[in-house]
Amino acid sequence: MVNAVDTSTRAGRFAPSPSGDLHLGNLRTALLAWLFARSTGRRFLVRVEDLDRVRRGAEERQLADLAALGLDWDGEVVRQSTRLELYDTAITRLQHAGLTYECFCTRKEIQQAASAPHAPEGAYPGTCRNLTDAERAERRASGRPPALRLRAGTDKFTVEDELHGRYTGMVDDLVLRRGDQIPAYNLAVVVDDAAQGIDQVVRGDDLLLSAPRQAYLASLLGLPAPTYAHVPLALNTDGKRLAKRDGAVTLADQTRLGRSPADVLTALARSLGLADKGETVTLAQLLDRWDPKILPTRPWIFDG
C-alpha cells in the first residue's frame, strides 16, 4: 500500500456499477478519486453499485483492474444490494414527513411531457403530484406498479464544486423507489455516502447535474452533503463518451497490445498533466506531484 490506512471518519470513494469492464475513462476517474482522497488524508472506499444491471464476473474484473494499477482501498468493498434496509428506512422517513407521492407515469409519458414547451430540460413535470384519491385508485386498478417520487419543495439547489465553483442546478420530484420496488440511484447514493462517512465525492462531470438533487435530498434527510469534484470525462475522437466500441479501451485490451499496468497508469498520468513524455511514473510519485489546481478542465480525447 502506498499510504497507511487512515482511521479518520473522512473518506472519498469510487463507486462503479458492475455492468461491464472498466474502460480507461473509468480508471482515470478512479485514479483521480484516489489522489483526491489520499492527498487529503482521507480513507478511500470502493462501493459496488449493483442495484441495476449486473454482468457476471464484472465486479471481480473491476476490482482486479484497480488493484493492478496499484489503487488500494480501505476496509471491505460495500455492495448496495446488501443495504436495502438502509434505503427503506430513509424512504419511510420521507413518507412520514409527507414528502413522497406515487407516480404511475411510463417513461414515454414522462419524455413527452418533459419535451413540452417551457418544461425544464430533464425535469419530471409533476404529472402525478396532485392526483386525487380516486385518480390514484383508478391507476392502481390498471395494474401499473407505481414508482415513489419525492415531493420537492424547491426547483433548484446550490452546491460547491472544487472544479466548477458554486453551481446551482435543477431539482425536481426525483424517483426514490422505482416501480419494480428497487431503490433509485439518487436515493441510494445519498444514503450510502452519509452512512460510510464519505465527505468527498469525485466523479465524472456528466454527473454534475445530479449533485443539486442529491444535496437537496440529503438536506431533507438531515444528512451532510459531501464536497464535490466533478472531473472531465474521457471522450473518443468524435467527442462522445468513451465506450467499448472505441477499440482498446480496457486494461485487458491494453495488456493484449503489450502495455503493462504501469504503462497504462503513466498514460493516465500524462492525460492529467502529471507525467512527462518518455517517463514512467508510480502512484507514489503522482501523489507527491498532485495538485488539483493543475487538473485539466477539458475532456481527455482518447485516440488509442
**125 marked as binding residue:** no
DSSP string, the chain: --SPPP-SS-EEEE---SSS--BHHHHHHHHHHHHHHHHTT-EEEEEE--SS---TTHHHHHHHHHHHTT---SSPPEEGGG-HHHHHHHHHHHHHTT-EEEE---HHHHHHHHTSTTPPTT----TTTT--HHHHHHHHHTTPPPEEEE--S-SEEEEEETTTEEEEEE----EEE-TTSPBPHHHHHHHHHHHTTB-EEEEEGGGTTHHHHHHHHHHHTT-PPPEEEEEPPEE-TTSSB--GGGSS-BHHHHHHTT--HHHHHHHHHHHTT-S-TT----HHHHHHH--GGG--SSPEE---
Place of cell 485487458: 252
227-231 and 147-150 beta bridge pairing: unpaired
**93 marked as binding residue:** no
**33 marked as binding residue:** no
**101 marked as binding residue:** no
**183 marked as binding residue:** no
**277 assigned to active site:** no
**49 marked as binding residue:** yes
Phi-psi region of 262 (alpha: psi -120 to 50; beta: other; left: phi over 0): alpha
**128 marked as binding residue:** yes
**124 marked as binding residue:** yes
Catalytic residue among 240, 244, 277, 293: 244
**103 marked as binding residue:** yes
**76 marked as binding residue:** no
Q: 21, 248 in Cβ contact below 8 A?
A: no
**14 marked as binding residue:** yes
Annotated binding-site residue numbers: 13-17, 49, 103, 105, 124, 128, 185, 203, 244
Annotated binding-site residue numbers for L-glutamate: 13-17, 49, 185, 203
Annotated binding-site residue numbers for ATP: 244
Q: Which residues are known to be catalytic?
A: 244
Annotated binding-site residue numbers for Zn(2+): 103, 105, 124, 128
